[in-house]
Structure 1
Amino acid sequence: MTASSASTTAPISATAPARPLAASRAAAHATRVAFFISGFAMAAWAPLVPFTKTRLSIHEATLGLLLLCMGAGSIVSMPLAGALSARWGCRRVLVASTLLVCASLPLLALAPTAPWLGVALFLFGAGIGGLGCAGNIQAVLVERASGRPMMSGFHGLFSLGGVAGAGGVIGLLGLGASLWQATGAVAAVVLALLAAAGPHFLARGTEQSSPAFARPDMESGSVFARPTGVVLFIGMLCFILFLAEGAMLDWSAVLLTQVQGMPAERAGLGYAAFAAAMTLGRLTGDRWVRRIGPPRAVLAGALIASAGLALATLAPTWPLALPGFALVGLGCSNIVPVLFSLAGRQHAMPESLAVPAIATMGYAGVLMGPALIGFVAHGTSLVAAMLVLVALLVGVAMGARRLGALD
């Protein structure tokens, strides 16, 4: 899609042509539902992992490779979702991605062999990636039209969806439901939410009208546009934040048991404290961001997260470490939403290219983070690896000043 065609595309509503749909309350509610669906469906897979491993009799190494298929599907679909959202509108991409998620969910439970599970995970990841990318593009448009911060609240619904999805599947399996019954129930809930929110997704995408978009790589219609300038900078910050989130998911329990001597059966409390604080921070974050501004929100959040991670890493006992994990979640909670919001304000790239580029760099942090931390920990120690992450979060705080030009 060329820059000239992008600049003439604007969000429209079939029922109210004079008023952009992004400005309506229905569009904002639909965006929240899209984020909830994404978190709900993605988290539903987590409780299935041990059952699937046992059912297919696969080893840890094989399972690790299979899980990469999910990440590969997301990374492939994100740039495509951005380009298709600009050309066909967020609604079509959100609906198609959600239907792909619903179709692949039962396949995760029914895959007869490991290769078929890899295919199902790739399709599932592609649906999740497309849903997340198009959802963030719609969120940028809705927030821009509203004239007030909304992105933290949208991401908060993703976190709530994660709690509901994982908890719901755990409950169903605990009641004796089979894997395909549990995934079928999740798909049914997602379809019901889609039916309610789908008509209010944005019918068409939009791009900012700016001469800065007239770049050769965009004129050629490339889907995989190379991020440069401020977009690359925002993507690097997202990489660090997603790396920190991945570290909390994969290494918090190990840190608590090996360093602070926490009993293994309680080690999940570290991530639980992180996730609960992040959800609370996002649901209340829009008001805070509006009060102090996006750059200061990034600065304060990164400093809180770095201090929390230092406490969680260096605390001599686990009761002192748990508040540190909560501070990491609280500090990180609003930084990524603010960065996606700023992606809609920059003039270096249209959001249909900027958002998927930033999302892809962030998701690379989730995929690569655990391995990078493990590599550093193997060469030094887990404490040293976590302190490297503390330094990276301090770097995010130092970089917040550069974001002031977009505020």
Structure 2
Amino acid sequence: MITKKIIDAKRATQLIFLVCGLGIASWAPMVPLAKDRLRLNEADLGLLLLLLGGGALVMMPISGILISKIGSRKVILGSVLAAAFILPCLLVISNIYLMGLALFAFGCSIGTVDVAMNAHGIQVQNIYEKPIMSSLHGLFSVGGLFGSLGLGFLIKLGLNPIYAAITISTLLIFLLSIQFKHLFNYQTEKEIILKFSNVDEEKVATSRLQWFNSTVLLLGLMCFIVFLSEGAMLDWSAIFLRDNKNVEPEFSGIGYAAFSVAMAVMRLAGDSLISKLNSKIVVIGGSIIASAGIVILIFSPWITVSLIGFILLGIGAANIVPVFFSEGGKISGLSPTVSIPVITTMGYAGQLAGPALLGFIAHHFSLTVAFEIIALLFIVVALIYKIRKKSSSC
């Protein structure tokens, strides 16, 4: 029976996904500004982005342990507050070492809330007994849209950049404050795990020893590739449009915005889509569409057609990750408090650390070559998932 408490928990989780998307996407229009302010080349910028991803990767496994100790609600509270306080600093720091430290701390906070909100979302989906992960990730994409355009829009209106960033941070804290009480507490989460996972209480306590489950690692690997494309759009799309398509810096976030809109629309409709289609069609078909979108945005000489490429990428990639997370939350004999943090860690390693690798590729070859590699990796995801499904059906 779906009670008001469950409905409130679902709504609160949706708002946390929105907050996370808004927070991390606000960094997108800051990237060209940071590159120019610190006088960085692509390799140096890639190193800074690696520090951001490194912070996330350090905290993600720790976040899983924290969630098992105190619950995802308290972890979400601390990490969102940390991200909100760090975000304005990224717009004004002019020392490369301090910038690296700030990005590392920002990565820690974002990585932590990513793990916690996905772990909480799986618990809500289990007790809700209907697919909701796509809509949750859809709200993340909506946050990405407002984050990528909102900061630049406020600056374009004449607001001092630091005040614009503080405005975004204040919004993050406000959204958290109005929904925090509706998130499941630690005891409720534990009861849901025991009820819906095929594990007993003793196994929940020791299940972190099963981090190297082959199914978890395979899902994590595919998540890494898909999230890499999202990270590339976040960290490199603005620079790609500015330097390769001659888009004005104030509007260089339009590519990520188009990508985010397409992804948000598809994810908000994704729960119904996944219910009607099987996961094989969603993952394989989506991967092919996403790969085609990247090819179009790279080689089109017209900015309008390039934006269509961004849209196709968003449409194709939208519901792949929610499928992976849902499957990760249903692995027999393994608690979601273990499988979800592992998959999230590997996946967001692609989003946060992967773009740093693209920076080195762009420095030694070109940003176009880096994007071509992403298109190829989507085909790899389609092949891996096809082989996995064929093996599991035998």
Shift of 1:89: 1.1
1:339 to 318, 321, 324: 324
Q: Give runs of aligned pairs for residues 5-404 of structure 1, distance below 5 A.
A: 24-51=6-33, 57-60=38-41, 62-109=44-91, 111=93, 113-204=95-186, 205-206=189-190, 207=193, 209-210=197-198, 219=206, 226-249=211-234, 262-265=245-248, 270-313=255-298, 320-347=305-332, 349-370=334-355, 372-373=357-358, 386-401=371-386, 402=388
What amino acid is aligned across from residue 101 of structure 1 in structure 2? A
Shift of 1:252: 5.4
What amino acid is aligned across from residue 230 of structure 2 in structure 1? E
Supply the distance in 1 between the matched residues of 2:3 and 2:67 (Cα, whole angstroms): 15
Any idea what SS the aligned residue of 2:124 has?
Answer: helix
Supply the distance in 2 between the matched residues of 1:116 and 1:380 (Cα, whole angstroms): 29
Supply the distance in 2 between the matched residues of 1:303 and 1:270 (Cα, whole angstroms): 20
Measured at CA, do residues 316 and 341 of structure 1 come closer, stay the same or move farther in structure 2, by a change above 3 Å? same
Measured at CA, do residues 175 and 235 of structure 1 come closer, stay the same or move farther in structure 2, by a change above 3 Å? same
Any idea what SS the aligned residue of 1:24 has?
Answer: helix
Q: How many residues align?
A: 382
Q: Contact 2:2–2:128 (CA<8 Å) still a contact in 1?
A: no
Shift of 1:352: 2.0
Q: Contact 1:90–1:135 (CA<8 Å) still a contact in 2?
A: yes
Supply the distance in 1 between the matched residues of 2:95 and 2:296 (Cα, whole angstroms): 44
Supply the distance in 2 between the matched residues of 1:136 and 1:40 (Cα, whole angstroms): 16
Cα deviation digits, residues 65-105 of structure 1 (max 9, x gap): 33333222211111122221122111111111112122323
Shift of 1:137: 0.5
State percent identity of aligned pairs. Answer: 38
Any idea what SS the aligned residue of 1:59 has?
Answer: coil
Supply the distance in 1 between the matched residues of 2:242 and 2:45 (Cα, whole angstroms): 24
Shift of 1:35: 0.4
Q: Contact 1:246–1:370 (CA<8 Å) still a contact in 2?
A: yes
Measured at CA, do residues 343 and 273 of structure 1 come closer, stay the same or move farther in structure 2, by a change above 3 Å? same
What amino acid is aligned across from residue 194 of structure 1 in structure 2? L
What amino acid is aligned across from residue 57 of structure 2 in structure 1? I
Supply the distance in 1 between the matched residues of 2:366 and 2:156 (Cα, whole angstroms): 38
Shift of 1:139: 0.8
Q: Contact 1:22–1:202 (CA<8 Å) still a contact in 2?
A: no
Supply the distance in 2 between the matched residues of 1:40 and 1:288 (Cα, whole angstroms): 25
Deviation larger for 60-69 or 185-194: 60-69
Cα deviation digits, residues 368-406 of structure 1 (max 9, x gap): 544555666788877666554434322322333435869
Q: Contact 1:93–1:131 (CA<8 Å) still a contact in 2?
A: yes
Q: Contact 1:36–1:159 (CA<8 Å) still a contact in 2?
A: yes
Q: Contact 1:306–1:328 (CA<8 Å) still a contact in 2?
A: yes
Q: Contact 1:255–1:313 (CA<8 Å) still a contact in 2?
A: no
The gaps in structure 1 that reach 5 residues or longer are 1-18
Measured at CA, do residues 174 and 352 of structure 1 come closer, stay the same or move farther in structure 2, by a change above 3 Å? same
Any idea what SS the aligned residue of 1:202 has?
Answer: coil
Partner of residue 7, structure 1: none
Please tell me whether Structure 1 or Structure 2 has the larger radius of gyration of its CA atoms.
1
Cα deviation digits, residues 214-246 of structure 1 (max 9, x gap): 88x983967xx7433110110111111122233
TM-score (norm 2): 0.82
The gaps in structure 2 that reach 5 residues or longer are none
Supply the distance in 2 between the matched residues of 1:379 and 1:54 (Cα, whole angstroms): 20
Higher relative contact order (CA 8 A, sep 6+): 2
Measured at CA, do residues 304 and 27 of structure 1 come closer, stay the same or move farther in structure 2, by a change above 3 Å? same
